Structure 1
Amino acid sequence: MTTEQAAQTVQITINGTEVEVPAGELLIKAAEDAGTYIPRFCWHSRMKPVGMCRQCLVEVEGPRGTMLTTSCTMTVNDGMVVNTESDTVKKAQEGILEFLLINHPLDCPVCDRGGECPLQDQTMAYGPGESRFVEEKRHYEKPIPISELVMLDRERCILCARCTRFSDEISGDPLIEFKERGNNTQVLTFPDEPFRSYFSGNTVQICPVGALTAKPYRFRARPWDLEAVESTCPHCSVGCRISVESSQNQVLRFNGVDNDPTNQGWLCDKGRFGFEYINSTERLETPLIRGEDGELHEASWSEAIDAVADRLGGFKGDEVAGIGGSRNTNEEAYAFGKFLRSVVVTPHIDAQLGDGLAPEFIGGVYPRATIDDLERAKTILLWGPDLKEELPVLYLRVRRAAAELGANLIVIHPRNTGLDDVASHTVRYRPGTGADLIERLVAGTGELADVREALNVGPVVALVGRPGLAEDIRLPEAVAAFARDLPEAMVLPLVRRPNVFGALAMGLAPNLLPGPAEITDADARSRLEEAWGPLPETDGLDATGILEGLASAELGALVLLGADPVADHVDPVLAAEAIGEAGFVVAIDQFLNDSSRLADVVLPAEGFAESEGTVTNVEGRVQKVNRLIPGPGQSRPVWAILDDLARRMGGELGAPSAAALAKEILTLVPSFSAVGWDELDWGSGREGILIEPPLRYLPVAAGITQHAQSGFSLHLAHTLYSDGTLTGSVPAFAGLAPEASVHLNPGDAARLGINGGDLVRVTGDAAVELPAVIDDGLVEGTVYVPAGRREARALGSTLAVAVAKGTVRQLSLEGGGS
């Protein structure tokens, strides 16, 4: 131990044993790390201590003798002597538990928390075993729904304040609070204001009793009936670690795992409750082939594989394209790229859908920030999506950095965001004026002088992405180029889908090989061609180019892997036209979605919790995904489907298993050479392993040609819930997605004579009519439309739009920034 390390520790005695612990550590945590568990209810390692429940009382020796004190509020000091097992401590613990049980209903047989309840466990371990209370207990109406996802049973509540503190300290939406006083104190939401938080499920997980329960899990299973594996959340690119739990081959719940580099135990409600699509009766169970009547009909696997191989074999390699892979594992993405490049021999590959960033920017920008770098940042520049809507747990990490750790947060966005209340500076701008705003930031004069001065305090972490889908794809790169000149700057590109980075690292981009490496990288080509055979020598088309090529008949066939361009591409009209005009389309998917319904052959694939492999999050952290249940019906692993297709077309993927693909990746992709499954299953590897891509890309500020025109600029941005196929297959999310609407600045609405609820016509690529919401979170000249709504698809993502008042009055709506 170094002198510096020794200065940071102190010696204390716990139950007669000397231990060395970090200086300034809370006693309850220091004791636990040293192997002594102190019972508790209110204390949580990720929240501030409050000492409310008194269950953690211990004896500490002082100059005036021993005293009982709450170990969750006392920090250790050198020479401290602590006793957690004395008769006095045991009597205090028994008394606290007896007091807590006075009004507790003791309905363990019908409580969802039964079998994993801290109150139950600690009563058995530390309680008196018998109660002296014989009077009538306190009663409340039970249970009551406090949101679409959470039920509250006030009789079970022990007033530990974990739920209220989480909502206030961590998520920043204090919608649940203590009400009344004394014996009538209870936890409740405010009148006419439900617990509509994006993070409400965390309160269920941290509740030490069954006072808060999750509707999707209520009465579904007992803990001892559940099988569980640790895995990675499949809903966005943060890569939250989760426990996936099932019974009788049905996934019944996700719980957060405290993974320090990523989610620190928290999940958003989409991640926590979005598992229900796995069990959906709409899942594909058998291959489908389009018959002469124009309808899709069930077929055998051999018939379907033969049909795909025969049809794809009728096209030249560069007449075939592939889209998808960003929702699949690294191993499946690798197999998809290998199939397309070495068997079909096409360069036209893209994992993104026109809504992301340049592949070389995502995969090669440096110096690259990690999520943990937010903990050390003095300044955070956020110019990208509204994190609360698109990357919610990253929102929690940024919020903690600003509100608790003291970082200066600068938020630049076209609309009010969920982080504005903790930001030191907020800048609103009209979409299409981003390049001008960068120039003004560089100058640092006028109203931006204070912002520019704040950006001079390093280390600076710049979180950059597309604030809206109508904005120039090169804007984030220009922001990164500006940010790189700031003190000790690091850049983290933000993308939404769960495995975009991993798919790009596996070569699912028109200009990248696995690595990621450039197409012209001689070492990468040589290494891959030795194993794969000859590769296409030129860059291919991106997703938009592929769709345009299909629509114009320059391309003939399309292979979709877990992708739905008709719903998710920035130009859904083009996507529908392209797939409809294509000579042949095969979709490998879990559902019949808007795109696979147009396919000629649909192959049912296993999905999350049914397949194993790895995924790579937004910062380049590779984490394990584990198998728990079998897929429905005749669905098969993606790698197995592609392997059969390759052999039927005269090629060879050499993929007898996902594990075999993982070993091939270790050999052929240098950045993954230390990322074996064994390393990810044990020790520190369970937190994930950061890769160092060989690609080094310097962002440039040039190239933005988009500028705001007269009229209105469109801000088209995703929300947490939408009507997509996966979220639409989750019953718990019914009604949570915001209605399709048009948000207008009050001044713009007044000039046009539009009131909240009026039907408004917005014309972009085409015209849509939606109800108006008056939104003072927008700058004038900006129109906000939530993306992912079927009613708004025809609008497209053109920046310049026209707005006019309709003739029909809708129901009254009011709104503001999130």
Structure 2
Amino acid sequence: MKDEREIVTVTIDGIEVQAPKGELLIRVAQDNGTFVPRFCWHERMKPVGMCRMCLVEVEGVRGMPPACTTTVTDGMVVNTKSETVKKAQDGVLEFLLINHPLDCPVCDRGGECPLQDQTLAFGPGESRYVEEKRHFEKPIPISELVLLDRERCIQCSRCTRFADEIAGDRLIDFGERGGEMQVITYPDDPFTSYFSGNTVQVCPVGALTAKPYRFRARPWDLSAVETSCQTCSVGCRGSLESSSNELVRLLGVDVEPVNHGWLCDKGRFGYEATHAEDRARNPMIRRDGALVECSWPEALDAAAEGIKRSLDLHGPASIAMVGGSRGTNEDAYLWARLAKGVIGTDNVDAQIGDGLPAEVVLGLPGATIPDLDEAAAIILLGPDLKEELPVLYLRVRRACVDLGVPILDVSAVDHGLSKYAAASIRHLPGEQASAAREISAALAPLIEGRSGPIVVVLGRSDVATSAEPTVAAAAIIREIPNTRFLIALRRGNVRGAIDLGLAPGFLPGRVTLDAGAGRFAAAWGSAPAEVGLDTAGIFNAASEGRIGALILVGADIVNDFPDRRLVRAGVGGAGFVICINATVTEAAAEADVFLPATVWGEKSGTTTNLEGRISRVGRKIAAVGNPMPDFRIASELALRLGTDFDLETVEEIQDEIARVAPAFAEVDAQLLKRARDGVVLPLALHRDELVLEPRRIPVIDFSWEPIKPEGPGEFEVVEPEVVEPVLEADASDEAAAEEESALPVDISNGAGLPDAQLFVWSAQHAAQPTPGRDNYALRLSAGRSLYDNGRTVASTPALRALIPAQTLRVNPSEISRVGVADGESVRVSTARGSLVLSLTGDANVPAGVAVMPFNIGETGVGDLVDVSLVVTDLRLETLR
């Protein structure tokens, strides 16, 4: 957002500088090369002036005001280095050190501690205090992840302000007074915030430490690389640090368009999964009914032979590929090229049956995360952001609470942001379209007098309901003027995988198969002849014996896909199964060939987040054993199938993508290296947001301060011709679409092909109404939980203990109707199957709805859902 404030002239230590009127003096000084010492001030929090370390002299002002609460005015004269200021700094530091223990040799902050640094730079140099310091029991756990050392605390309130202002989890506060003041938690409300690790990073001393990092390393033993988190599709930037070829820490990097330096705890501590004990280190093939380790050439030859055999017997349509959303863009592109350009199949889907059709993801007018701040209103029609996209939750909350953007919540049950909504529309799962018809009336009073786009956060609210109701609702909302969509996708690089062709009916660069087949046949040598199957279609075909070779790429398919019975039947019915993964999952254990792949932290490249922003992923450590990057596995398989990709490096792949994929035009390796905040696709529409730098980002300045990219640059702005997406096509529209598809492709600005056309999607397998629905049935809502039984949490010791117990939540009236006690186990039955679960009453769950996390427990939602149905209805029976 352009700053339109009046520019004033300020003199700081004899040097005239210009700054926007009303800007904080501490920020103006910092932006112009003068560091004013501070402890309590943080760029992303409200100033409070508690620590008094930033006192300065201002001509004409009585006393010394704190720079963190003083705003600049025209003609202001400031002195930050006078003897008076120096004396004040000496006094503040001396008071802080009276009770601060000399734990530096054993403190995790030693070597990167602002109190150390500022005592040396601004302190008195010696202490006059000889009395006994105060003592507290230490450390005490304030959460499963954070330890508190009260002796070290300097009462700056950064941790309590973060919890309150940023996370909205006011679960820690100050207790007592004077010398006994300390950070406390509440007995009935433990510090269970999903963002607790941020309090450790913002703490300017070692009062708060993270259990996974405590006593692990010293800053001078660490090396770091900037990277993008792949835990979810927000793509938060972070500094990944290692020691002795082991990942030991991830710190948030302050990137304005994305995460503001914040990370969720799953993303912050999930790096431990890279070193999981169950990592597969060597390739395997099936011999005598069992997987046995073998050499890479032997495994690759066996995999290629299985693909060739299916091709020869049944043609390209007998081969399918599922997955690819956990790798990099470069991985996704070569998997797409292998499947669609070498094998010739379009049976490819990176989404595991829990997302939205690629036509919708690519066809809706897109919003960016910063659009939330300037929106006229935000419509929430999707998953619980706090559980599934936690840092996007922080951005939406900030837009509402701090910037006054109203929220319209359209959901089946309350979620993390419901309490901030200005208006809410409740509906039964599966009835999103009916709710969408009420949005215009509910929205009108919210946007009256407001400007800016209406940003819709759109996604599948739960996996027990098909995509069809959400797509129907999107078609209705699309008719509201000035509406843009942020698609809430699951898994780290789903957007990048779809952009690069890992979706049926699409080729790399957001090009439909019909529009781009000729272009890619020329570039690759061939392209699929017909549109293929999505994940559900692939497993249906495999269960019927119509898939001769099934390639599973980085997916725990049995636990990720909503319908376990179907996926198990599909894996069992496929003629030949190749699994590329880091661990031997349930499906991998049934594979004919297993190929171990490198994971995040061991590979470099790029990923694309949910808004279409491409960011770099850094390789920090060398893989242990013999895993191989996905793109190399794809290249080796292609070579054995008769095609040499001749692409040896990530940069070479990026350059090829820029040449052949229209939406990626000009986004080559050099641009990606220099783009400070990443590149939003298509570049032609977002050039004005692009900031370049001549070198890579220095990731560490002061770890206690927001870690920020540096080095602005320039880029020529070119205004493209924008082709608006259409909603539904009649006969004239279809003719126009055919004419557009024949347009020549000009990759000079990425706008040569029309945008993908959005249409009201109908499932490939006709959805049927739920059988047996009656007055006793409940409608199941099954969203995801942040802490789940997925690989990241299950392989991370620090997070494993946070997985909640599996339970079915219903309105208390349902418990009374069934005639059981709260917490008692009942039989839960659907058209697909039945389970025994604990039943819990929750007044926030509407009558007629049952809520259960999808990804908790050994058995669960996947055993109850039939993906051929639009919704999942269930019945409760007592066990007595």
For normalisation by structure 1, the TM-score amounts to 0.94
**Match in the other structure for 2:329:** 330
Tell me which of 213, 230, 235 is aligned to 1:239: 235
Match of 1:791 in 2: 859
Match of 1:43 in 2: 41
Alpha carbons of structure 1 residues 100 and 597: separation in structure 2 relative to 1, 3 Å: same
Q: 1:262 aligns with which of 236, 241, 258?
A: 258
1:397-449 Cα deviation digits (max 9, x unpaired): 0000000100111111111111122211123221122222223445x3xxxxx
1:61 to 59, 62, 66: 59
Aligned to 1:208, which of 204, 228, 236? 204
Q: Which amino acid aligns with 2:157?
A: A
Q: Is the 8 A contact 1:261 1:687 kept in 2?
A: no
Counterpart among 6, 10, 13 of residue 11 in structure 2 = 13
Report Cα offsets for 1:541-580 as digits up to 9, x if no partner. Answer: 1011111111100111101110121110111221112112
- Say whether residues 1:678 and 2:670 are aligned partners: yes
| Separation in structure 1 between the aligned mates of residue 502 and residue 872 of structure 2, nearest angstrom | 31
The answer to whether the 8 A contact 1:758-1:805 is kept is no
Aligned counterparts of 2:128 and 2:836: Cα–Cα separation in 1: 67
Alignment of structure 1 residues 27-426 onto 2, 5 Å: 27-62=25-60, 67-292=63-288, 294-316=289-311, 317-366=316-365, 368-426=366-424
- Shift in CA distance, 6/169, structure 1 to aligned 2, threshold 3 Å: closer
1:31 is matched by which residue type in structure 2? A
Aligned residues of 2:543 and 2:570 also touching (Cα < 8 A): yes
Q: Secondary structure at the match of 2:108?
A: coil
Deviation at 1:537, TM superposition (A): 1.6
* Shift in alpha-carbon separation, 1:6–1:740, aligned structure 2, 3 A: closer
Secondary structure of 2:852's aligned partner: strand
Residue of structure 1 in register with 2:711 after alignment: none
Match of 2:842 in 1: 775
Q: Which residue of 1 aligns with 2:736?
A: none
- 1:514 counterpart = 2:508: yes
Does the Cα contact within 8 Å between 1:378 and 1:406 map onto a contact in 2? no
Deviates more, 1:253-262 or 1:703-712: 703-712
Tell me the amino acid that sits aligned with residue 485 of structure 1.
E
Contact 1:621 1:691 in 2 (8 A): no
SS in 1 for 2:162: helix
Indicate if the aligned counterparts of 1:466 and 1:475 stay in contact, CA closer than 8 A. no
| Maintained 8 Å contact 1:606/1:632 | no
The one-character-per-residue Cα deviations of 1:622-650 (angstroms, maximum 9, x if unpaired) are 11111111112011111111111111222
Q: In 1, Cα distance between the equivalents of 2:662 and 2:174?
A: 55
Question: What's the % identity of the aligned pairs?
Answer: 47
AA at the equivalent of 2:342: V
Contact conserved, 1:462 with 1:490, CA < 8 A, in 2? yes
Alpha-carbon separation, structure 2, partners of 1:787 and 1:801: 15
Q: Distance in 1 between matches of 2:157 and 2:814?
A: 44
- 1:295 maps to a residue whose letter is A
Provide closer, same or farther for how the CA distance between residues 6 and 47 of structure 1 changes in structure 2, counting only shifts above 3 A.
Answer: closer
Any conservation in 2 of the 1:321–1:347 contact (CA below 8 Å)? yes
Aligned to 1:685, what secondary structure does the other structure show? coil
Per the alignment, do residues 183 and 707 of structure 1 end up closer, same or farther by CA in structure 2, a change over 3 Å counting? Answer: farther
> What is the aligned partner in structure 2 of residue 747 from structure 1?
813
Asked if 1:721 corresponds to 2:787, the answer is yes
Distance apart, 1:796 and its partner CA: 2.1
Q: Residues 93, 224 of structure 1: CA spacing in aligned structure 2 closer, same or farther, 3 A cutoff? A: same
767, 788, 803: which one pairs with 2:875?
A: 803
Structure 1 residue 487 displacement after superposition = 4.3
Conserved? CA contact 1:338–1:653, under 8 Å: no
Write the letter of the residue equivalent to 2:574. Answer: A
Per the alignment, in what secondary structure is the counterpart of residue 310 of structure 2? coil
Measure the CA separation in 2 of the matches of 1:689 and 1:212.
Answer: 36
Q: Distance in 2 between matches of 1:357 and 1:455?
A: 28
Secondary structure, counterpart of 2:64 in structure 1: strand
Residue aligned with 1:361, SS: helix
The offset of 1:807, in angstroms, is 2.5
Which residue pairs with 1:664 in the alignment? 656
TM-score normalised by L of structure 2: 0.88
How far apart, CA to CA, are the structure 2 residues paired with 1:777 and 1:697? 39
Q: Whole-Å Cα distance in 2 between the matches of residues 139 and 216 of structure 1?
A: 25
Runs of 4+ in 1 over 6 A off after TM superposition: 4-7, 704-708
1:742–1:760 CA contact under 8 A, matched in 2: no
2:517 matched to 1:525? yes
Check conservation: 2:517, 2:528, Cα contact below 8 A.
Answer: no
Aligned equivalent of 2:739: none
Bigger drift between 583-592 and 750-759 goes to 750-759
- Return the alpha-carbon distance in structure 1 between the equivalents of residues 63 and 10 of structure 2: 16
TM-fit CA distance, 1:707: 6.8
Contact 1:666 1:673 survives alignment (8 Å)? yes
Instruction: Give the AA of the match of 2:779.
Output: S
Greater mean deviation of Cα atoms: 280-289 or 199-208: 280-289
Whole-angstrom CA distance in 2 between matches of 1:34 and 1:540: 57
Q: For residue 291 of structure 1, report the CA deviation from its aligned partner.
A: 1.2
Q: Which of residues 675, 691, 701 in structure 1 aligns to 2:682?
A: 691
Question: What's the CA shift for 1:194?
Answer: 2.2
Separation in structure 2 between the aligned mates of residue 687 and residue 128 of structure 1, nearest angstrom: 44
Whole-Å Cα distance in 2 between the matches of residues 90 and 270 of structure 1? 43
Q: Quote the Cα distance in structure 2 between the aligned partners of 1:345 and 1:560.
A: 17
CA distance in 1: counterparts of 2:638 and 2:466, whole angstroms: 38
SS in 1 for 2:466: coil
Q: Report the residue type matching 1:330 in the other structure.
A: N
1:624 and 1:688 in contact (8 A); partners too: no
Q: How much has 1:156 moved relative to structure 2?
A: 0.4
2:730 maps to 1:735: no
Which AA in structure 2 matches 1:758? Answer: E
C-alpha contact (below 8 Å) 2:364/2:484 kept by paired residues: no
Question: Any conservation in 2 of the 1:328–1:562 contact (CA below 8 Å)?
Answer: yes
Residue range with higher mean Cα deviation, 431-440 or 111-120? 431-440
CA distance in 2, matches of 1:747, 1:339: 55
Paired position in structure 1 for 2:695? none
Matches within 5 A, 1:355-504: 355-366=354-365, 368-441=366-439, 444=441, 450-454=442-446, 458-459=451-452, 460-504=454-498
Task: Answer yes or no: is the 8 Å Cα contact 1:622–1:691 preserved in 2.
Answer: no
SS of 2:59's partner is strand
Q: Is the deviation greater in 691-700 or in 8-17?
A: 691-700
1:535 aligns with 2:532: no
Following superposition, the deviation at residue 181 of structure 1 comes to 1.1
1:528 deviates by: 1.7
Deviates more, 1:278-287 or 1:430-439: 430-439
